[in-house]
Copies of this chain bind each other. A is one copy, B any other.
Amino acid sequence: MSKATVLVRLKSEVLDPQGDAVKRALDKLGFDGVRGVRIGKLIEIDLGDAPVADPAALKERLAKMADEMLANPVIEDFEIVV
């Protein structure tokens, strides 16, 4: 089974209230030393059993998917891992 992963992260200049809430909760639970938490998305795409003929083309297609659908390019960056 070939699988691709798209990691979607908020751009560093975008506030992450969810991450801040998790950081505060970790502080309260006694986990010190955490300076910050950022939460993004881990998107795993099952591409079926067919062998990947052209990895570069696949990566390009995945980048198009991420740009059009999986990430919001205004506030998020993405990284493709094949």
Residues on A lying within 8 angstroms of B by beta carbon are: 7-9, 19, 22, 25-26, 29, 31, 33-48, 50, 61, 64-65, 68-70
Contacts and interface: CB of A to CB of B under 8 A. Distances in A.
Nearest to A37: B45
Contact of A37 (B8, B43, B50, B61): B43
A9 B44 contact: yes
B43 A22 contact: yes
Most B-side CB within 10 Å, residue of A8, A35, A50, A61: A35
A17 B9 CA distance: 21
A7 B42 contact: yes
A67 B26 CA distance: 12
